[in-house]
Structures are given as structure tokens and as C-alpha cells.
Chains A and B, each alone.
Chain A
Amino acid sequence: SAVISQKPSRDICQRGTSLTIQCQVDSQVTMMFWYRQQPGQSLTLIATANQGSEATYESGFVIDKFPISRPNLTFSTLTVSNMSPEDSSIYLCSVESAGFTFGSGTRLTVV
């Protein structure tokens, strides 16, 4: 199955700033997925990123808040913009590979 390198692993950010999370996959994949896991909660899909087209966002998530880039078939970024403490969560990327494989997650704390 694919191996995903996700970074940063954690960050503490000031409110009002933005953070960009990167995911690098060791093989070419058509779709990459971004999930949010709020404290003590389950995972919720934010958006699906296809190379060469705009990401598709789930209900409750908007591009202005979570812009996504997908410049090629092995890489994607998720930006969390204009952060507030409510954005404190674990963010994970995922690809479909022998089931769904996940990156190691980014633990974001907004203060």
C-alpha cells in the first residue's frame, strides 16, 4: 500500500494566522482526501482533491477557510486559514490504496 509523509506533525498557532499542511505520497494517486478530527471526536471528511481540478468540499467546509492545492499526482496541501481556537484538531490526509491509507496526522492547536 502507499506510504504518505505528512508534515508538520504538530504546530501551535496564533489565532488569525494560517497554517499549510503538506502530504507527499510515494506513488501516483488520482484522489487525495483531507479529514478533520476534532478533540475526542471521529474523523470527518473535509474535501476530496483531484489533480488538475478544484477540490470538492463536503457540507460545512468552504474553500476560503480550507483552500487545497493538488499540483501533481503525489502531492497535496491543505491550508487552514484565519484560524480560531475552534480549528484546533488533528488533520489527516488519505489516499485509496489497499483500503484507505492515512498520513500520520497534524495536531493543530490554536491559541
Chain B
Amino acid sequence: AQTVTQSQPEMSVQEAETVTLSCTYDTSESDYYLFWYKQPPSRQMILVIRQEAYKQQNATENRFSVNFQKAAKSFSLKISDSQLGDAAMYFCARLQGAQKLVFGQGTRLTINP
């Protein structure tokens, strides 16, 4: 099975600090998409950032950036200047084929004021 693994069930960070969430994946495809989603208690899945595997440049969206290591099949999310509103479950996902998202088990992020 082609899986996505998030090895950190829970993480916590002080407000205004930086935190990195880990994700590794398995795939036999050479071109694919990777995503990070945020799910607050409202249960809405919110797209945080996405990365196309053929692009070597790491994606960045404001305070969110990724460290994409294709050879290592690693896709970590860095959140800078953490804010209380960043508290949520974070899911890493890989697009399998053209339409199926395969999700990791999630990391619960707590922001300490």
C-alpha cells in the first residue's frame, strides 16, 4: 500500500515560535502532488499549502513553508511565528493517481500562549 506517515501524533509550540511537522510518504510515481491540510475543531478541512513533485523549489504561503525532499520522500511543514489560531489537526496528503487523496494520521498542534 502506498502510505503517508506522520510520526508525531501531537506537537506543541509557544506562541510566536516556529514548529515543524513531519511527513513521509511512499510512492512509485515520479510526478505527484503533496498537500498539508488544517482541520480545526469546526472540522472544516482547510488547504494550507501544496507542492508539485516536479518543482524543486519549496512551496511557501505566508508563515507556512515546506521542506520537500523528493529522494527521501519527506514533506515537512514549517509554521513560523505561531499564532493561537494555528491550533488544529494537521494532515499531510499525497495525490494518488489523478484523483485520490491519501492522508496521514494527522498531528494535533497545540499553541501555548
Interface positions of A (Cβ within 8 A of B): 1, 31, 33, 35, 37, 41-45, 48, 58, 90, 92, 94, 96, 98-102, 104-105, 107
Contacts and interface: CB of A to CB of B under 8 A. Distances in A.
A104 B43 contact: yes
Size class of B's contact patch?
Answer: 10 to 19
Contact of A42 (B42, B50, B100, B104): B104
B107 to A, nearest CB: 11
A100 B103 contact: no
B43 A31 contact: no
Given A31-B99, A94-B45, 18 more contacts: A33-B101, A37-B43, A42-B91, A42-B103, A42-B104, A48-B100, A92-B43, A94-B101, A99-B35, A99-B50, A100-B35, A100-B47, A102-B45, A104-B42, A104-B43, A104-B44, A105-B45, A107-B43
B91 A45 contact: no
Contacts of A41: 105
Contact of A43 (B44, B47, B103): B103
B43 A105 contact: yes
B43 A43 contact: no
B43 A90 contact: yes
A45 B100 contact: yes
B24 to A, nearest CB: 15
Contacts of B47: 1, 98-101
